[in-house]
Amino acid sequence: MGSVKGWICVVLVGILGYLCMDSFDPESIANARVLVTGASTGIGEEIAYHYAKAGAQLVITARREQALQKVKAKCLELGAKNVSLIIADMGEPVDREQILEKAVTVLGGLDYLVLNHIGYTPFQMWEGDVSHARWLMEVNFISYVDLATAALPYLTQTKGSIIVLSSLTGKTPIPFAAPYAATKFALEGFFVALRHELTMRESPISITLCILGLIDTQSAMEKTKEKVSISAYPAKDAAFAVVSAGARRVKEMYYPWYVWPTCFFRDWFPQIRDWAILRTFNYEPQRQEQKAL
């Protein structure tokens, strides 16, 4: 039995070591033609900066033009070959219909489609707001499907990549995020199935799912304040992991370190998983002593 446990440890260490290896060479994305959604702030902004440092050509999208202009200026300072803006609301089908056509026209093709945008959702217990859940599904899922579908012909020509930013909540649901978790589970289902179909068609397109834990974006910090007892990790580092994984065409990327073990063990020990989740969210069951009758 001892030898079996030893071999299991060796295998797990080997897998972790493989996952931690990073053979990413920024030169591999120099001059790459990249469309990044949700690029006005947070992880999307940092993703744009990493591509810019490598000398990529960028189209960045978001709803807020002023914020995008600031990102554009910094991208050019960092070394981007060129940067174009598309102002669009991903909750509006009319807005997103023209995004791919405009981006490809500006860039002359497409090598990377980075789907990063998310709809705002309060970090609170479910209170039955179905209309908000429906809107969130439109922004966080349907728009991803729309853009990816429109990009397939262009990415086929360039043997390009789709990079999808997902979340640990798309693997292991957590409190206060029921509608959000549903959208991330939908992304997992659709893009993994699409990857299988592309393989069956012998398509050259790669799909990378990025499974992220708690990242220190302003929005995440405001929502989780005093509700979560785990540390947040830097958006800049998360963005680098995303860009690196996409360039290396890996199927799934996990960041930070605890995300992969959590996903790996989630179905083996469900009771421990649920206990850990509740403790992470500062939940302590109320214990009342029963009085003897």
> Annotated catalytic residue: which of 49, 112, 180, 233?
180
What spatial distance separates the first Cα and last Cα of the chain, rounded to whole Å? 51
Comparing C-alpha atoms, which of 86, 88, 45, 259 is closest to residue 167? Answer: 259
Distances (CA, A) of 177 to 110, 222, 282: 34, 14, 15
Tokens, residue 72: 């554009």
Taking a C-beta distance cutoff of 8 angstroms, is the pair 51, 243 a contact?
yes
Burial of 84 (0-12, 13-18, 19+ CB in 10 A): middle
To the query of whether residue 180 is one of the catalytic residues in this protein, the response is: yes
Tokens, residue 241: 């992991």
Contact residues for 14 (Cβ-Cβ < 8 A; gap 6+): none
Backbone angles phi, psi at 284, to 5 degrees: -125, 115
The identity of residue 206, as a single letter, is S
* Catalytic center residues: 180
